[in-house]
Chain A
Amino acid sequence: MSLRDSENTWVLGVFLGIVALIAALALALVSDWTAGSIKAAQEKNRTAMFDRLQLDEFDRTGSDVMIGKMIFCAVYNAGKCIGFVGEGSAPGYGGSIDAMVGFDLSGKITGVQILRHKETPGLGAEVCDRKFRRTILNLGVKAPEVPENIYLDQFKGQLASGAGKWQIAKDGGKFIYRTGATVSGRAVTSLVNDIAVSFAAHRMEIQEQSK
């Protein structure tokens, strides 16, 4: 009886095992081969995000400091601390929203950047995405490095020490939100608020530990 028509459980099991083994070996090779590139891509992604926070010029970032569920780090230029970055996440409408907030030395927010979100396209996504409006009229124009987003840019220049009760206008706060995307706006505002509160409370700790 040929292998093709075999009905022996042992033969079938061993054949499947061999196929799985070969596949696993091939995957191990590819995984090994791409590991460096994946790490480099992730690293590049993270640095690109830091660049978009509009901090002063910097050459390296300090080690991460965990405070609660948030990650903070100091940012250095030529050995001197020039600012801080805080990262956190909060549940939005369609899943968790991860955001990064930059602070300068005076505690002012320099920029807010959403790293990941799954909000509704056209509604919640408008609150989170920084997208340059490319139309047929401005095809040749170079997109700005940090496209504006009125919902995220309203935090710029706010003092972290003033945080604690930042809310959207619907809840009695001062921040605007997009009609139809209240949940997303609320989530982003309270996330930035929490990061700022946490930063203001633990600033000394962050500065000392993030070398």
Chain B
Amino acid sequence: MKNSYFGDFIKGFWKENPVLVLLLGTCPTLALTSNAANGAGMGAATTFVLIGSNLVISLIAGFTPKKIRIPVYIVVIAAFVTVVDLLLKAYAPPALYDALGIFIPLIVVNCIVLGRAEAFASKNGMFRSVLDGAGMGIGFTIALTLIGIVREFLCSGSAFGIKLIPAWEVDFLLPGAAPGAFIIVGVILALKSFFNRRSAIKKGKLYVPPQGIDCRNCRICRIDDR
């Protein structure tokens, strides 16, 4: 499983989910999950950027000078983000663009995208990098949509704009606002690690965070010791 293509694709969904496990891209996670539709839209836009940037970066990583690789990656990512912005402007429903508009440029500085470029695409082939980008993007979308559904439901009893409890008249504002986002994301993370730990203990194992995804394996901050 460790080196299979399927494993590359599927690992982002849950085992190395960028939001829930890697804890990357927290800014869009908190800012854009006030309802489920926004979360899903942001996830889809980021997925497109991830696939595109991973593809191009895996192709150019072989001959990119090490000293300037980060600026080069950022140029590639920024180009893809601008493409997404233009495409959304041209073809997305106006309501979606109004909601996501100011956050689209922020995908450039989303650490998931640069993180995957540096940690995966620059060291692996084109095909595996595209799979990794798609998997991570889908994992990001899953997490954002999940948090969005929870927040929207707690806020107004609805999901994707459809009221599930018709009698729920007055919005409860906390989950929809920024402080609520922190609380809910925190609760979801705590629950996830609680269940992971419990199942590990049940199987008689010691719970350790997934291998290969923490600071020790990322070299973004330490450009020179590569």
Contacts and interface: CB of A to CB of B under 8 A. Distances in A.
Interface of A: 2-7, 11-12, 15-16, 19-20, 23, 26-27, 30-31, 34, 37-38, 41, 45, 116, 120-123, 131, 133-137, 139
Contact of A4 (B66, B89, B164): B66
A186 B225 CA distance: 59
B65 A23 contact: no
Contact of B176 (A5, A26, A121): A121
Contact of A122 (B60, B162, B176): B176
A135 B64 CA distance: 54
Contact of A15 (B65, B156, B177): B65
A3 B64 CA distance: 7
Contacts of A122: 155-156, 171, 173, 176
B166 A136 contact: yes
B68 A15 contact: yes
A27 B52 CA distance: 14
A34 B87 contact: yes
Interface in B25-60: 34-35, 60
Interface of B: 34-35, 60, 62-68, 71-72, 75-76, 78-79, 82-83, 86-87, 89-91, 94, 98, 155-156, 158, 161-164, 166, 171, 173, 176-177
Contacts of B65: 3-7, 11-12, 15
A122 B176 CA distance: 8
24 contacts: A4-B62, A12-B65, A12-B67, A19-B76, A23-B75, A27-B79, A27-B82, A31-B86, A34-B90, A41-B90, A41-B91, A41-B94, A45-B94, A120-B173, A121-B34, A121-B171, A122-B155, A122-B171, A122-B176, A123-B173, A131-B161, A134-B163, A135-B162, A139-B162
What DSSP secondary structure best describes chain A's contact surface? helix
Which of B35, B68, B71, B78 is most buried by chain A, counting CB atoms within 10 A of its CB?
B68
Contact of A20 (B63, B75, B91): B75
What DSSP secondary structure best describes chain B's contact surface? helix
A52 B96 CA distance: 19
B75 A19 contact: yes
Nearest to B69: A4
B72 A19 contact: yes
A134 to B, nearest CB: 5
A136 B79 contact: no
Contacts of A137: 166
B79 A38 contact: no
Which of A45, A131, A135 is most buried by chain B, counting CB atoms within 10 A of its CB?
A135
Contact of A26 (B34, B68, B79, B177): B79
A3 B63 contact: yes
A2 B163 CA distance: 61
Given A19-B72, A135-B158, 11 more contacts: A3-B63, A4-B62, A11-B65, A15-B65, A30-B83, A120-B177, A122-B171, A123-B171, A133-B163, A134-B158, A134-B161
A184 to B, nearest CB: 14
Nearest to A122: B171
B216 to A, nearest CB: 24
B56 to A, nearest CB: 9
Nearest to B77: A23
